[in-house]
Amino acid sequence: MFGGNNIPNEYVQPPLDYYIRAAGTGNVAGMVYEDRSNPCVDKLLNNTSIVSRKTSSLEGDISQLLSAEILVCGFGTFALAIYLLSTRIRELYLPADYVNKYLTGDWGDVKVHLCTFPDYIPFGGWKNTPPQRRLMTEYVWKPQLITNQTLPVTPWYS
């Protein structure tokens, strides 16, 4: 999403402020990331509310995420796979555009926060330009725009 020639234009990542404010809803915030190409990563690493850092292995990252009760997701499939495997997650933060485009079905007994970002990079408009990368770190997210939902109770593992 942040390098190479085949950047998926639908994978618009949420702004830094989304992660900071959503992380503030829990007691301890951990972070898992592939690399530092996302402009939000270094800023999150410097945030004192993020106390847990990337582990040295994929297995460690998965273990850290599976221990979470609140999961804040960007646009992608890795975190959603964790949700499907987890028996601990009770709250899930997701970009609304992603859910509306790709996801259907029941979420189980999980409070789902579908988050919108008005006046941000439009869905399908990701080009990884310097202005877009700057907007990711400077955009001020207004949390009252969260749509809180508890979707029907039908755990996938029942």
Q: Express each pLDDT in 85-107 by its tens digit.
A: 999 998 888 888 877 776 666 66
Return d(Cα 119, Cα 54) in angstroms, integer.
31
Helix, strand, or coil (residue 17): helix
Q: Kindly list the structural domains of the chain, giving each domain's residue range(s) and its CATH number in brackets, ordered by start.
A: 16-150 (3.40.50)
Q: Is the pLDDT of residue 151 over 50?
A: no
Q: Report pLDDT digits (tens) over 1-53.
A: 566 567 788 888 999 999 888 877 665 567 888 888 889 988 888 876 666 66
The whole-angstrom separation of Cα 41 and Cα 98 is 20
Q: Are the C-beta atoms of residues 85 and 67 closer than 8 Å to each other?
A: no
Instruction: Give the global pTM.
Output: 0.80
Q: What is the mean pLDDT of the chain?
A: 78
Q: How far is CA 155 from the centre of its chain?
A: 21
Q: Which residues contact 114 (CB under 8 A, 6 or more apart)?
A: 94, 95, 96, 99, 100, 146, 147, 149
